[in-house]
A and B are shown apart, each in its own frame.
Chain A
Amino acid sequence: MELPDESTADIACILNGEPIRARVPLRQNLVDWLRHGVGLTGSHVGCEHGVCGACHVQVDGVVVRGCLMLAVQADRATVETIEGATSSGRIRALQDAFFNRAALQCGFCTPGMLLQAAELLAKNSDPTREEIRQALSGNYCRCTGYHAIVDAVQAAAASLRA
């Protein structure tokens, strides 16, 4: 078997606070590179067509669909995944609230859900249930029915305001 002849590009970015250089296939999307190129498997792949939100990562400070951005586009960007957001402690209140409220079951949607919820709380420290539901409306969860997730985001917001 001959090696495949993938066109690649070299990129350099800040990933979870650390500089990283890599050679990435041009056609590889960001989440596939993070998962399989770097080994950060906390971001998940749920649909690869931008509907489910399982692949959410933060790029240059905003949450994006990791399946709708090419890895090569992360060149010169600042990228943060669930692993980085965890170790920095910036989503700790949300993580604790999700844990205590049982706001996850299979957990596959959870990293993407947490990053999206964190972006909401950064803009709105006291969101209503409706606002939380709207903000998370691009993150599919089959397990929970969302009620506990909304509760957990509210609880996290309250603990952050306290």
Chain B
Amino acid sequence: MPDTALPPDGWIGRPMPRAATRRLIEGRGRYTDDNAAKGELHAAFLRSPFPHAAFRITGCDAARALPGVRAVLTAEDLAPFCRSWRTQSLAFPGLVSPEQGPLARDRAVYQGEPVALVLAASRAVAEDALELVGVEWNELPAVTDVAHALDAGTPPVHQGLSSNLAWRTEFGEGDVEAAFAKAALVVEERFTFTRHTGVPLEARSVLATYDPAAEALEVRMSHQIPHQMQVHLAELLDLPMGRVRVIAGDVGGGFGIKMHVYPDEVAVCAASRLTGRPVRYVCDRIEALMADIHAREHVVQARMAVDAEGRILAFDVDDIQGLGAYSIYPRSSTVEAMSVLRTVGAPYHFSAYRARLRCALQNKVPTGQYRSVGHPIGCATTERLVDLAAAARGEDPLEFRRRNFLPEAMMPWTNPAGGRMAELSHTATLAEFERLLDLPKLRAEVAAMRAEGRCVGLGFSAVVEYTASGPAAYGRAGVPVAAMDTVVVTLEPTGDVVARASVAEIGQGIQQGIVQVVADAVGVPPSRVTIHTGDTANAPHGGGAWASRGAAIGGEAAWGAGRKLQAEILKTAAALLQSTPDALDVRDGQVVDAKGTPRMSLAELASTVFFRGHELPGGVQPQFTATHQFRREEDLFLTTNGLQASLVEVDPDTGLVTPLRHWVVGDCGRLLNPLLVDEQVRGGVVQGIGEALLEACRYDPGNGQFLTGTLADYLLPMADNAPDVTVGHVETPYSGSALGAKGAGEAGTCGAPAAVLNAVNDALGSRGARISELPVTPTVILRALGTLEAAE
């Protein structure tokens, strides 16, 4: 049974600013490239300019001869220092993803794939040398369009493959054919989702220092999961784990971009080993847009069956995922597609489901887990079908949702898509949503704007998100991913508490959350708690930052460790005070008695233990360092729920869409810190709005060249095209843990594209336009309105 005795008036749940941000606002952050090592070399990569090409490196002498150049390295040079790898997963048997190394050998299969590496005295000189490397390129036919990648006759992405099918599956429960046969209403749509990428403002960066005497590698890098990198670098470079230290200091955003094993980062580590010199590499923005993972390229054909009473009967979904040239290492790009297909229908009750998935290899950079992995697509698919059904029935879209939400009394319930729904609060969330939006008034405002001739639309989305993956998710797949966390807490001689945690801070504020948990668990104010994360030599093994897991899993480990430390404090204090532990408590840094009267400060207690141990009674051996490792035993994932609304204005002449306002009500379980949760939600929403309206990785349909290689081409939401976002909460603590936190970091991104898509369709509905493509660009709108001719 979890120890759930949260102290009354504690720190958990308080909206506190993050102590750590003081440094960041004063320019005192330490991001990876803010560090330098004596004797370091700067790396620059020669990357394939073609999406698909055979190549031969014909000469490195000129580059090597350039003053300031230390080395020009190719795949052959690095091979003795680094193993190759291949993405495999028991969850995706038969997955086709060829062997990869840190540098391509003979053949490049995506534009931006690293093929050679220069080490030089400066980045500028390294780039000079890149221009002197002789390469003979033989461009090959490139496969980029996901809709045709699997067609017979399409050339193979990799030599020797008979098709570009990387993996396929079908799953679902219930009699789909029967459900559609008896349906009173069937709605159907074909959706096109264009590739996006994460664009954390700090690009991926690495400073690798191999010490040949100690046979040890120290790597500073901008990463979400330093412990994962420790595992993989030890394996790939054949070093004992203890001799690999990975340090992620301040990290300038992650969003899933920084949780994979990238060939260039491995190459830098291998190059340090080869040269015995520190090697620094900072991915520039052009490289980042081209060669960071992309995500969310899907063509989804989906239909939904509804009975005469307006109840959802079944979903039938066919998804083709544009996977990229490889399935991303180590987690596999297919995870995104499975997440799409598990998310379809998630908020609702339905009785039959059929999903078909084909993952297509392409001559494009691999896709991978990006904030709210797959969910925005599953959500947009579902919520668009729901709006179409409501419209076909001539009813209010929220009423259709209200009728179809999975009733609380049915939970826990495993739906026909295999998603286990538990402890969701659709009814309470909808009530809070209606209150927050003041819907009658809002609808009147919309009507008034329309009366003025403005083309505005209001769209809704219901969200269910899977968070905080449990051990079985990757464990059963045989992929070495820690779904657990470790927290170590120490009482220092001054009475201060130091925590070391395997969660990772990437800006989301988990350090502050953990501090508040430890403060309550031990009984000290947060100002007396210091936390260290992001360094494998400092924090024990654990999961890092992904899947909105920090509070739900790291928080539990922190609570457990803090409670163990408090128990030890009470035991020791009781021995000194001739009392018993259960007659004492720790509050605000003091050991107090049952009446709350202070008996001894933690500073007095700790200084006695550390400096005057001779005063302790015989047999007392205080353990003022406590460790807790937490893995969740129940529930493969936690489920969270929410509702979003988007109000947009469309300019039907220009096709421009302006998001005017956005609302979110979410239930992410216990809120450790509502201030930080609200901002996670807001940031996530705007990321989703970018996905809905602006962001797209485009490729030339002829030669497959990447067209959105700068930030003037890859359009991100800026301050003047993001709306204000109103956030509300329903708090249903997860019953299976002490704190009851679920996950909050990705829910905003999950539901925003669907809400915006529905809002745009609401705006254009009266003009007969129907849109099912993201991003909703002006071109998409003008074509839908018939102003411009359809493509091709």
Assess A46 versus B253: contact at CB under 8 Å? Given A4-B121, A95-B26: no
- Across the interface, do B201 and A46 meet the contact criterion of CB distance under 8 Å? yes
- CB of A145 within 8 A of CB of B687, answer yes
Q: Which of B686-739 contact A (CB under 8 A)?
A: 686-687, 710-712, 716-722, 724-725
CA distance A100 to B18 in the complex (A): 8
Q: With A and B bound together, what is the CA distance between A136 and B282 in angstroms? A: 26
Number of A-B contacts (CB under 8 A): 200
B24 close to A147 (CB less than 8 A) = no
Residues of B within 8 A of A51 (CB): 710-712
- Would you call B324 an interface residue if the criterion is a C-beta within 8 Å of the partner chain's C-beta atoms? no
Given contacts A4-B122, A27-B124, A82-B27, contact A150 B253 (CB under 8 A): no
Known A-B contacts A49-B285, A106-B253, A108-B252; the reply to A143 vs B120 at CB < 8 A is: no
A104-B250 Cα distance, complex, nearest whole Å:
13
Contact of A145 among B125, B198, B683 (CB under 8 A): B683
Whole-angstrom CA separation of A110 from B23 in the bound complex: 11
Whether A42 lies near B28 (C-beta < 8 A) is yes
* Residue B791 at the chain A interface, CB threshold 8 Å: no
Instruction: From known contacts A43-B27, A102-B676, infer whether A108 and B253 are also in contact, taking CB-CB under 8 Å.
Output: yes
The answer, yes or no, to whether B34 is at the interface (CB within 8 Å) is yes
Decide: A142 near B687, CB < 8 A? Known: A54-B201, A110-B24. yes
Q: How far is the CA of A111 from the CA of B685 in the complex (A)?
A: 23
Q: What is the CA–CA distance of A36 and B66 in the complex, to the nearest angstrom?
A: 22
Residues of A within 8 Å of B719, CB to CB, are 132-134, 136-137, 139, 141, 146, 149-150
In this complex, what residue of A is CB-closest to B752? A145
- B638 interface residue, CB < 8 Å from A? no
Q: Which residues of B contact A2 (CB under 8 A)?
A: 67-68
A143 adjacent to B253 (CB under 8 Å)? yes
Chain A residues near B29 (CB, 8 Å)? Answer: 41-42, 107-108
Mostly, the A contact residues are loop
> B116 → chain A, closest Cβ, in Å?
18
Report chain B residues within 8 Å CB of A136: 718-720
A25 B124 Cβ-Cβ under 8 A = yes
- A147 CB to nearest chain B CB (Å): 5
Within 369-415 of B, Cβ neighbours of A (below 8 Å) are at none
Instruction: Please encode chain A, from 34 to 77, with 1 for each CB lying within 8 Å of some chain B CB and 0 for all others.
Output: 01100011111111110110100000000000000000000000
Q: Which of A1-53 contact B (CB under 8 A)?
A: 1-6, 25, 27-28, 35-36, 40-49, 51-52
Question: Chain A contacts of B120 at CB under 8 A?
Answer: 4
B26–A138 contact, CB under 8 A?
Answer: no
* A145 contacts B722, C-beta separation under 8 Å: yes
Interface string of B248-289 (1 = CB under 8 A from A): 001111010000000000000000000000000010110000
Shortest Cβ gap from A121 to chain B (Å): 15
Is there an interface contact between A3 and B712, defined as CB atoms closer than 8 Å?
no
Residues of A within 8 A of B200 (CB): 106, 108, 142
Tell whether, in the assembled complex, residue A107 and residue B67 are in contact, meaning their CB atoms are under 8 Å apart. Answer: no
Stretch at the interface among B158-166, B432-440, B477-485, B505-513: B505-513
Picked from A47, A99, A132, the residue with its CB within 8 Å of the CB of B21 is: A99
User: B318 interface residue, CB < 8 Å from A?
Assistant: no
Checking A45, A47, A54, A147 against B725 with a beta-carbon cut-off of 8 angstroms, the contacting residue is A147
Given contacts A45-B33, A149-B719, contact A99 B679 (CB under 8 A): no
User: Within 8 Å CB of A132, what residues of B?
Assistant: 719
Q: How far is the CA of A91 from the CA of B509 in the complex (A)?
A: 24
- Do B722 and A146 have beta carbons less than 8 Å apart? yes
Chain B residues 198-221 with CB under 8 Å of chain A are 198-203
Residues of the B chain whose Cβ atoms lie less than 8 Å from the Cβ of A108: 29, 31, 200-202, 252-253
Q: Quick one: CB contact mask for B16-44 with A, threshold 8 Å, 1 for yes?
A: 01100111111111110110100000000
Query: Taking the complex as formed, is B682 at the interface, i.e. its CB lies under 8 A from any CB of chain A?
Result: yes
> Are B201 and A109 touching (Cβ within 8 A)?
yes
Q: Is residue A105 contacting chain B, with contact meaning CB distance below 8 A?
A: yes
Once A105-B507, A106-B200 are accepted as A-B contacts, the answer to whether A100 and B17 lie under 8 Å apart by CB is yes
Within 8 Å by CB of B25, from A27, A43, A47, A110, lies A110
Question: Counting chain B CB atoms within 10 Å of each CB, which of A35, A110, A132, A139 scores highest?
Answer: A110
Interface centre among B68, B201, B684 (most CB of A within 10 A): B201
B67 near A3 with CB under 8 A, answer yes
Q: What residues on A are CB-neighbors of B34 within 8 Å?
A: 35, 41
Name, among B24, B67, B120, B198, the residue most crowded by chain A CB atoms within 10 Å (CB to CB).
Answer: B24
B36 to chain A, nearest CB (A): 7
Q: CB-CB < 8 A to B282: which residues of A?
A: 45
CA distance A159 to B711 in the complex (A): 35
B69 at the interface (CB under 8 A from A): yes
Interface residue from A5, A41, A54 paired with B67 (Cβ < 8 Å): A5
Q: Say if the beta carbon of B6 comes within 8 Å of chain A.
A: no
| Interface status of A114 (Cβ within 8 A of chain B) | yes
How many angstroms between the C-alpha atoms of A139 and B717 in the bound complex? 10
Q: Which residues of B contact A4 (CB under 8 A)?
A: 66-68, 120-122, 125
Are B201 and A148 neighbours in the complex by a CB distance under 8 Å? Answer: no
With A99-B25, A107-B25 in contact, do A138 and B718 touch (Cβ < 8 Å)? yes
B36 touches A36 (CB 8 A): yes
Query: Is B675 an interface residue, CB under 8 A from the partner?
Result: yes
Q: How far is the CB of A68 from chain B (nearest CB, A)?
A: 13
Select B18's contact among A27, A46, A102, beta carbons within 8 Å: A102
Cα separation A127 to B67 with both chains bound (whole Å): 53
Selected from A25, A40, A46, A144, the residue in CB contact (under 8 A) with B202 is A46
Question: Chain A interface (Cβ within 8 Å of chain B)?
Answer: 1-6, 25, 27-28, 35-36, 40-49, 51-52, 54, 81-83, 86, 95, 98-102, 104-111, 114, 129-130, 132-134, 136-150
List residues of chain B with CB under 8 Å of any chain A CB. Answer: 17-18, 21-31, 33-34, 36, 66-70, 120-122, 124-125, 198-203, 250-253, 255, 282, 284-285, 506-509, 675-676, 679-680, 682-687, 710-712, 716-722, 724-725, 748
- The 9 A-B pairs at the shortest CB distance, nearest first, are namely A42-B27, A4-B68, A107-B24, A106-B507, A145-B686, A108-B252, A82-B27, A105-B507, A2-B67
| Other A-B pairs, 7, CB within 8 Å; known A6-B122, A142-B199 | A1-B70, A35-B33, A41-B34, A42-B29, A106-B201, A107-B25, A146-B719
10 A-B pairs whose Cβ atoms sit less than 8 Å apart in the complex: A4-B122, A36-B36, A41-B30, A47-B285, A49-B711, A54-B201, A98-B21, A106-B253, A110-B24, A114-B25
